[in-house]
Chains A and B, each alone.
Chain A
Amino acid sequence: MHTARTLFEKVWSQHLVKDETPETPAILYIDLHLIHEVTTPQAFSLLRERKLGVRRPDLTLGTMDHSTPTTPVRSFKDLAVVGEGAANQVIKMQENCKEFGLELHGFDSDFRGIVHVIGPELGATQPGKTIVCGDSHTSTHGAFGALAFGIGTTEVGHVLATQCLLQRKPKTLAININGQLQSGVTAKDVILATIGHIGVDGGTGHVIEYRGSAIDAMDMEARMTVCNMSIEAGARAGMIAPDETTIAYLDGRPQSPRGKDWDMAVARWLALRGDPGAEFDKSISINADELSPMATFGTNPGMVIPVGDVIPDNTGDASFRKALDYMQLSPGKPLSQSRVDVVFIGSCTNSRVSDLQQAADIMRGRKVADGVRMLVVPGSQQIKKAAELIGLDKVFIESGAEWRESGCSMCLGMNGDTVPAGHLSVSTSNRNFEGRQGIGARTILASPMTAAASAIEGRVADPRRYL
């Protein structure tokens, strides 16, 4: 008889080429390998050195997102990559994909975009798959009930050559989020509050499963936002059991199964849900009713408070002190007194149509405050098109924001889009590390609504007064 198993355990066991032993790790089969220009060149060099090919080009999908420019252009031919290193990386990516016969969504593809945005968009991300990428936010794809995690470049080489990875089985952590979110409180606030609660290392060694009525009520885009930041809680991956919402999202996507295959896939997907009574190594609960819009004040995503609160005092801790020094913020002061220089809406956390819509609803008929630069960067060319179809671009442009081509952009500032030193940025991305958005840049992480409200006021602002 089978013991009750969690969602993670089901997906894990379906992919064991060889189970782990005390001496050797498990050999785990990978169903989808996503690749981008930054973490692959050295892996392709390894293949060349060893005269190896890519085992499953059909399970490998490439895009360019990190080093690519987002300056608005009329045609992709006008896109000019900023910096010699970045340009070289883009060229290498094109050459490598051509040489090894891999599908690449390059500048000429309508599906180009941030790697974690296009996987789901294409329907390549599916429940029950194992998905990896040389990028820590691969956890995003877990929203579909896939086991998805980031790997290093050496491992990218392993997957290219063998379609497998050596892995030790991680532990499981259930995060139960029940209740109903108040209006103005979003998935981003849920995950920020969760990280604040368990800490940036609270999930280390674990795969998280998010459950509960607040998760059930979320659409796929919101679920992706939650799973995206699992890595910021230290976890390997985050997962959500597939349900009708998942299936409705995938129906009709370019790479989704069709006809009889679709019916069979749906039955298989729905059976992935954890069995009643399945046990987790650890479990915590969060009450969704009590959450408010959140904003970070320090230099890691766990340093987070409700946007209207005062900055806590933990100055006995040297790292805390160092973080506040860097942020030029003081304990006891409300975050809302801080003057904002830059607002960034984008990244694999919050660049999908619903994110842009939420921000646009607040911006409509209002202006970006004097002295604030606001950048809106859709996560993919598809999102850009969909947003333009419903006029969101005009809302942003009319309020004084910049409407850009898709890419990672100011999330990590590799492509020339950076926050100047000392400037304070309210960003919908996922990392507020020192210098993440540019040397000396000070980053406050928040939801698209909070970012939009902050752009209007020129200060860190609670979006609820604009609803």
Chain B
Amino acid sequence: MSATDIDTDQIIPARFLTTTSREGLGSKLFHDWRFTGNGAANPEFILNQSESDGCEILVAGRNFGCGSSREHAPWALLDYGLRAVISTEIADIFRSNSLKNGLLPIVVNKATHDWLLDNPGCEVRIDVEKSTITLPNGTMATYPIDHFARYCLLEGIDQLGFLQNHSDAITNFEETRPWKP
């Protein structure tokens, strides 16, 4: 999906946000690109083509996930069966939302990105521990990821639990700050 600036309104249109749970959003993923006006699958859309069958990694153009902060976007991608998004640039809030849900946002250089776009359906190895991605032709690249985010992913650490463990420090901050909101 080479288009640049794919925003979260495309990933999951606003009219599907009236849900109060996080399940089942995969069926609405890229809804208005995936389906034509009468609800039939749009044969021209990449996810509806045979080369996308069974794929777990989405390769998308620069600035993927920009726009609205809706966490429904990574929920929908995950629910659809995707586990990683690769781009040359990924928008801030989307990246943070993805990591919190175990969807890997991976930023690669333009050469790797171009290669991936030219070779849809190929098998790519992602090593979360080493933060590397290996292409079938053997090329390996490291991708940037926050230490802590990687640690949480690998150890299954829950960030809320981490924060709760600091409740004494939080109380102390509340009591000793020079002004109160």
The interface bits of chain A over 27-60 (1 if a CB of B lies within 8 angstroms of the residue's CB, else 0) are 1010110000011011001100010000100010
A268 and B66 in contact, given A152-B96, A162-B163 (Cβ under 8 angstroms): no
Q: Does A136 contact B (CB under 8 A)?
A: yes
Closest to A84 in B: B18
Bound complex: CA of A218 vs CA of B151, how far in Å?
45
Asked if A22 is an interface residue, CB under 8 A from chain B, the answer is yes
Is the CB of B14 closer than 8 A to any CB of chain A? yes
A17 at interface by CB-CB < 8 Å: yes
Is the CB–CB distance between A204 and B63 below 8 Å? yes
Nearest A residue to B7 by beta-carbon distance?
A: A433
Contacting A161 at CB < 8 Å: which of B20, B96, B147, B163? B163
CA A435 – CA B173 in complex, angstroms?
45
Residues 129-150 of B at the A interface (beta carbon under 8 Å): 146-148
The B-contacting residues of A in range 65-119, CB under 8 angstroms, are: 66-67, 83, 85-86, 88-89, 92
Decide yes or no whether B40 CB sits under 8 A from chain A.
Answer: no
Task: Find out whether the CB atom of A163 lies under 8 angstroms from the CB atom of B170.
Answer: yes
A462 close to chain B: CB less than 8 A: no
Q: Which among A42, A46, A170 is the interface contact of B20 at CB below 8 angstroms?
A: A42
Cβ 8 A contact of A200, one of B63, B101, B177: B63
Q: Give CA–CA (A366, B67) in the complex, Å.
A: 36
Enumerate chain B residues within 8 angstroms of A170, measured Cβ to Cβ: 92
Is there contact, CB below 8 Å, between A414 and B163?
Answer: no
**Cα distance A440–B71 in the bound complex, in angstroms:** 23
B50 proximal to A (CB < 8 A): no
The one of A55, A92, A200 that contacts B66, using a Cβ cutoff of 8 Å: A200
**Which B residues are CB-close (under 8 A) to A89?**
18, 20
Q: Is B113 an interface residue (CB 8 A)?
A: no
Q: Does any Cβ of A come within 8 Å of B49's Cβ?
A: no
In the complex the two chains form, what is the Cα distance from A89 to B159 in whole Å? 26
Is A282 among interface residues, defined by CB-CB distance under 8 A?
no
Residue on A nearest B162 in the bound complex, by CB = A166
> Of A17, A154, A318, which one neighbours B71 at CB under 8 angstroms?
A154
| Residue in A83, A134, A136, A264 with the greatest tally of chain B CB atoms within 10 Å | A136
**When the two chains form their complex, are residues A234 and B148 in contact, meaning their CB atoms are under 8 A apart?**
no
Residues of B within 8 A of A439 (CB): 13, 32, 37
Assess the A234–B20 pair: CB atoms within 8 A. no
Render A380-421 as a binary contact track against B, CB cut-off 8 A, 1 for contact.
Answer: 000000000000000000000000000000001110000001
Q: How far is the CB of A385 from chain B (nearest CB, A)?
A: 28
- Is there an interface contact between B92 and A204, defined as CB atoms closer than 8 Å? yes
The answer to whether the Cβ of B179 comes within 8 Å of any Cβ in the partner chain is yes
By size class, the interface of chain B is: 35 or more
How distant is the Cα of A83 from the Cα of B63 in the complex, in angstroms?
Answer: 33
Closest to A31 in B: B181
Instruction: Decide yes or no: A150 and B69 within 8 Å by CB, A17-B170, A201-B89, A204-B91 being known contacts.
Output: yes
Q: How far is the CB of B6 from chain A (nearest CB, A)?
A: 9
Quote the shortest CB–CB distance from A83 to chain B (angstroms): 6
Interface residues of A in 129-161 (CB under 8 A from B): 129, 134-136, 150-155, 157-158, 161
Task: Report whether B163 and A166 are in contact in the complex, using a CB–CB cutoff of 8 Å.
Answer: yes
Q: Is A18 an interface position by the 8 A CB rule?
A: yes
Contact with A along B19-49 (1 / 0, CB 8 A): 1111000000000100001000000000000
Could you say which residues of chain B place their CB within 8 Å of the CB of A434? 9-10, 32
Interface residues of A in 151-207 (CB under 8 A from B): 151-155, 157-158, 161-164, 166, 168, 170, 200-201, 204-205
Q: Are B147 and A300 in contact (CB under 8 A)?
A: no
B105 located at the interface, meaning its Cβ lies under 8 Å from any Cβ of chain A in the complex: no
Kindly list chain A residues whose C-beta atoms are within 8 Å of the C-beta of B4: 319
* Known A23-B148, A300-B7, A414-B18: A135·B163 in contact at CB below 8 Å: no
Asked if A223 is at the interface (CB within 8 A of a chain B CB), the reply is: no
Taking CB atoms, residues of chain A closer than 8 Å to B92 are: 170, 204-205, 234, 236
Q: For the complex, what is the distance from the CA of A23 to the CA of B147, rounded to whole Å? A: 6
Let me know if A352 is at the binding interface, CB within 8 A.
Answer: no
Which of chain B's residues have a CB closer than 8 A to the CB of A134?
69, 71
A-B contact pairs, 22 of them (CB 8 A): A14-B177, A18-B166, A25-B146, A27-B166, A32-B181, A39-B71, A41-B19, A85-B18, A152-B69, A152-B70, A164-B166, A166-B159, A200-B63, A201-B91, A236-B92, A319-B3, A412-B14, A433-B7, A433-B10, A435-B10, A435-B13, A435-B32
Beyond the given A27-B169, A154-B97, A164-B170, please list 16 additional residue pairs across the A-B interface where CB-CB is below 8 A: A17-B169, A23-B151, A29-B174, A38-B70, A42-B20, A83-B18, A152-B70, A154-B100, A161-B163, A162-B160, A164-B163, A200-B5, A234-B66, A302-B5, A319-B3, A435-B13
